[in-house]
Amino acid sequence: MSALSSTRLLRTALVWSGIVALILAVAGGVVGLVVAGTSGLWSALVAVLMGAVFLAFTIVSILIANRFYGDPLFVPIFFGTVMGGWILKFVVFLIVLFVLRDQPWLTPVVFFVALVASIVASLVVDVVVMMRMRMPTVSDTTLPTAADIEAGERRPGDSITPEG
């Protein structure tokens, strides 16, 4: 069974998001260190890591769900996996934020700016990857070949003509 055409696009977005997260970790760490010392460094690193992990979680859940392509229950499995992953991500994100808010080593402003920068950068990567990726308008379908038409073979979903 062939993979979905979106799998390549999602993997590309995941790789580029990881690269951007590494660049942001270095830049955010340096800026955090300059602005608020080691507290700022750790705040920026944790925020960038959170942004990268939680945003990658959605892509990974879609890639996992895509493995069930071709299964008669693909659509419910896909939406259950993606929606369940999103709910789990949301709950864990809130728990992590509640745990981190009372930490003495956390610099809230550095943390917030680094988290927002991480999210915005990841979204920009997603948009750039989507815009540059060449995908056919109609994908993941098989059209009849000339040999099929000459042989008069029909597939499920073929239209029935008055001659046939």
pLDDT of residue 147: 74
pLDDT of residue 145: 76
Burial per residue of 114-130, b for 16 or more beta-carbon CB atoms within 10 angstroms, e otherwise: bbebbbebbeebbeebe
What sign does the dihedral 62-67-69-73 (CA atoms) show? negative
pLDDT one-digit tens code per residue, 78-89: 999 999 999 999
Asked whether residue 3 carries a pLDDT value surpassing 70, the answer given is: no
Kindly list the domain boundaries of the chain, sorted by start residue: 7-133
